[in-house]
Every structure is written in structure tokens, then in C-alpha cells.
Amino acid sequence: MKKIALIVQRYGLEVNGGAEYHCRILAEKLNPLYDVEVLTSCAKDYISWANEYPGGLTEINGVKVRRFPVAHERNKMKARFYDRKLRKRSIWQKVLRFVGLLEVVENVLNLDGDTEENARGWAENQGPYVPDLIDYLQNKQRNYNAFIFFTYLYYPAIYGLRVAPQKSILIPTAHDEPPIYMTLFKSFFKLPRAILYNTRAEKNFVNRLFKNEDIYSAIAGVGIDTIVPEKQFKPADIIQSDAPYLIYIGRIDVAKGCEMMFRYFLKYKKSVHNNVKLVLIGKAFMDIPVSKDIISLGFVSEDIKQSVLKEAKALIIPSFYESLSLVTLESMAEGIPVIANERCEVLKDHIDSSKAGFTFANFISFKSALDTLFNQDTHLDELKSNAKKYVNDNYRWETVLEEFRKAIDFVSKE
């Protein structure tokens, strides 16, 4: 049986993050097929990267997990210092890329700020800084047939991928955001022997930016299971209301578009005077507006999450940046329509392809989506049917695991 390692910045049942959750469900699906081990940090919180889990080997849902301590917590001041050095020309980078002159101008200017030393300084302070994990990879790489790295943005992938690129698979979870334009990622995205993308939109974006079409790649995505809660809960008992509700699931964060969502929702409530609520599930990394119409449940069990999700009128996903959006697909699998940020290419593609929801780009289109959703003439049964069909047709585990099998075979060839 081949031995493979999945490397991710944090991992655990309590970890509330898309890429990290993706890694966990993939590890659990691969575990019966391979000798699987997850290599990760002792951090639970991505804001500080504080060591909260004990180091060493443990087991989660049957998967071996080897944790390494974070050498120092995130240093926001230093990270911003190096970030400014590395991205001081990001204002015009996209313009030059659009006209096809970015690489030429960068080579001519060769600005001193974009150096390997500054790149390392940024990565170490962006975190999680786990030098022991990199040392372990260097010392034990021969013990593994393949490495699967999650998320291009963090230290474990940036420097772990350099150890044995010839037997490494990258799941980049990439999207159009400022850090990806740093020069250090030019070589990074050409290192792995294979890249497995979550969506066609992600692959097209990465290929366009890094010209790495020659690397073995496939659209693997993730499988979506319809989950039947072990214990059923009545949503009205959990949210203490019989009113209809919209739901948001995930990290409650400005970076996820939540400030905009709150602003639009409260403005919508003032304009219609109905009893619709907004229910939040997830850990908060920002202040939540005080309103009788916004109900925050915090981090809840899977059974409670599924019970509340099944009765929601729609999921709101306001994020500008997604490479897949598991919560969107999980909601669709339950037949829940989705109201998504039109400015996120991946989310827009999900909605356009599925015909199972609505997109918004401003308050007017946000309100229009909700007005249509709650209009008695709207064919909700059709939306629900479209949602389930989209997931069933495109996100089945047997298809996903076959792509991983082929990639693992490819990188593990001597």
C-alpha cells in the first residue's frame, strides 16, 4: 500500500476553514485506499497560529495526524512590512498583465524589494511558521510515495513543496487576490509534478498567470455527500424562532464579505419589514451587528448544522474569493438555493451552471434576489431540484478519487 502525506496549515474537527475541511474529508476518503498521514501545525486559530493542539502523532476519525509546533505566532506588523516590500507595485500589476507586459516590465525594473529574503520573511510571519515540519519532510521524504500540499498561500506549502517536488501534488485553492502576484509564486506554481484544481475557473486563472500548462493537471474538486444527522434537531428550537431564515455558514470575517452581507441584509429588512432572519453558523472574527433579525449560533456540531441547513430558505455566500466553496455545494446537495457574490468567478459559475440560485453585485441585486426568493410565484421546487442535480452530476466521490488515484500513480513513478 502506498504511503502518502497530506500537508496543510491546520487540521482538526474544530477547525473552521474551507481548505482545511477539504483536506480532512479527502484524507478520510483516501485512508482506506492508502497509508495516509496528515502533517500539520499545532495551531487551531489562523489569526494567531497559537499552539493549541499537542505536538506529535494522534488520530482523528481513523486518520493519522502528525503535528508540529509553530515556532512563533503570526507577527502582523512584520508580515505587513514584508508584504509592502513584495507588493509595492501591485496597483499596476493587473493592468500590465492585462496588456501582456507584466513579465517584461518586472524583468526590466528588477526592484530590490521582491527578493528571496523578503519572501521568506513574509512567509514566516504570515505563518504558520513550522520549521520542524519542513525538517521532517527533508529527513523522511523517502518514507512516502507522494505528498499532497494544500493551499499555495501558507508556509508549509511554500517551503514544503521545495523538498521533493518530483513526487508532490499541489491543491492550490488559488484565486485572484493580491498575494498571488508576488514574484515568489512564479517559480512555486511550476514546482509540483502535478496540480489538482478545484474548478475550471481556477485552472484557467493559474495557467493564465503562470504559464504552467505543461504540468500534469486535472480538475479534481471534491465529492459531496448528503449527510443524514445522527440526531435530528428542530431548527425552531435551536434558533428560538419559527420565522423563515437565510443561513450563512463559515468563518464570519470581513475577508469573507460578511460586513457587506450584514449591511445589505439590515438595509433589506428596513425596506420590506418582514420577519425573515439571518442565521450564522461559524466562528466570528469580526463584530456581528446587534439585531433581533441576526442570530449567531457560533461553532456547532455537524448534526445541528445539518438540521438548521435543511430548513433554510437559502444560503448566502458573500465571499469575493473562492476556489471551490464547499458550503455552496453542500447546501445544493440538500436542495438549498444559493445567493452568491457575482464578483467571485467560481461562485458565479456554480450559479450559472446549476440554475439553482441567484447572484448579486450590489444592494439592488441583493434585494432583488431575496424578493424573488420569497415571491410566491417563484418555482422553488425547480431551484431545489436543479441544486441537487448539479451536485450529483459534477461532485461524486468516485470521480474525484479516480483523479487522485491517477495523480498519485503519476508522481510516485520512479
- pLDDT tens per residue across span 49-59: 999 999 999 99
What average pLDDT does this structure show over 321-348? 93
* Residue 131 backbone phi and psi in degrees, to 5: -60, -30
- pLDDT tens per residue across span 392-406: 988 999 999 999 999
Per the CB < 8 A criterion, the answer to whether 354 and 387 are in contact is yes
Distance CA 188, CA 119 (A): 12
Cell (9 digits) for 68: 508540529
- pLDDT tens per residue across span 183-231: 889 999 999 999 999 988 899 999 999 999 999 999 998 998 877 777 7
Q: Which pLDDT does position 377 carry in this prediction?
A: 73
Distance CA 74, CA 49 (A): 6
Q: Residue 38, exposed/middle/buried by CB under 10 A (0-12, 13-18, 19+)?
A: buried
pLDDT tier at 362, thresholds 50, 70, 90: very high
Q: For residue 367, which of 246, 256, 248 has the smallest C-alpha distance?
A: 246
88 vs 368 pLDDT, higher one: 368
**Helix axis angle, 18-30 relative to 326-333, nearest 10°?**
60
Residue 108 has pLDDT above 50, yes or no: no
Residue 111 has pLDDT above 50, yes or no: no
Residue 114 has pLDDT above 70, yes or no: no
Q: What whole-number percentage of the chain has pLDDT above 70?
A: 89
323 vs 145 pLDDT, higher one: 145
- pLDDT tens per residue across span 250-268: 989 998 999 999 999 999 9
Q: Which of 239-243, 340-344, 360-364 has the lowest mean pLDDT?
A: 239-243
What average pLDDT does this structure show over 330-335? 94
pLDDT tier at 69, thresholds 50, 70, 90: very high
Cα angle 50, 126, 160; round to 5: 95
Distance CA 236, CA 244 (A): 10
Cis before 128 (ω within 30): yes
184 vs 23 pLDDT, higher one: 23
Q: What whole-number percentage of the chain has pLDDT above 90?
A: 69
Look at domain 3-74+112-223+397-411 and name its CATH class: alpha beta
- pLDDT tens per residue across span 156-178: 999 999 999 999 999 999 988 88
Beta-bridge partner residues of 281: 249
244 vs 18 pLDDT, higher one: 244
> Does the pTM of the predicted model rise above 0.85?
no
Residue extents of the structural domains in the chain: 3-74+112-223+397-411, 235-394
pLDDT tier at 42, thresholds 50, 70, 90: very high
Q: Which pLDDT does position 384 carry in this prediction?
A: 95
Distance CA 407, CA 2 (A): 13
Cell (9 digits) for 143: 518514507
Query: What's the sign of the alpha-carbon dihedral 394, 398, 401, 405?
Result: negative
CB atoms within 10 A of CB 396: 15
Q: Which pLDDT does position 132 carry in this prediction?
A: 98
Q: Going by DSSP bridges, is the β-strand pair 277-281/338-341 parallel, antiparallel, or unpaired?
A: unpaired
Q: Judge: domain 235-394, CATH 3.40.50.2300.
A: no
pLDDT tier at 89, thresholds 50, 70, 90: very low
Cell (9 digits) for 142: 523517502
What average pLDDT does this structure show over 141-162? 97
Q: Which pLDDT does position 276 carry in this prediction?
A: 96
- Which residue is associated with the grid cell 453585485? 361
Q: Which pLDDT does position 141 carry in this prediction?
A: 97
Per the CB < 8 A criterion, the answer to whether 38 and 71 are in contact is no
Average pLDDT, the chain: 89
Q: Which pLDDT does position 234 carry in this prediction?
A: 86
Query: For residue 36, which amino acid is it?
Result: V
Q: Which pLDDT does position 252 carry in this prediction?
A: 94
SS (H, E, C) the chain: CCEEEEECCCCCCCCCCHHHHHHHHHHHHHCCCCEEEEEEECECCCCCCCECCCCEEEEECCEEEEEECCCCCCCHHHHHHHHHHHCCCHHHHHHHHHCCCHHHHHHHHCCCCCCHHHHHHHHHHHCCCCHHHHHHHHHHHHHCCEEEEECCCCHHHHHHCCCCHHHEEEECCCCCCHHHHCCHHHHHCCCCCEEEECCHHHHHHHHHHHCCCCCEEEECCCCCCCCCCCCCCCHHHHHCCCCCEEEEECCECHHHCHHHHHHHHHHHHHHHCCCCEEEEECCECCCCCCCCCEEECCCCCHHHHHHHHHCCCEEEECCCCCCCCHHHHHHHHCCCCEEEECCCHHHHHHHHHHCCEEEECCHHHHHHHHHHHCCCCCCHHHHHHHHHHHHHHHCCHHHHHHHHHHHHHHHCCC
97 vs 332 pLDDT, higher one: 332
Cell (9 digits) for 57: 502523532
Rounded to 10 degrees, the C-alpha dihedral 172/178/179/181 comes to: 80
Residue 80 has pLDDT above 70, yes or no: no
Q: Which pLDDT does position 100 carry in this prediction?
A: 57
* 3-74+112-223+397-411 and 235-394, same CATH topology: yes
pLDDT tier at 110, thresholds 50, 70, 90: very low
* Residue 194 backbone phi and psi in degrees, to 5: -145, 150
Residue 321 has pLDDT above 90, yes or no: no
Per the CB < 8 A criterion, the answer to whether 6 and 148 are in contact is yes
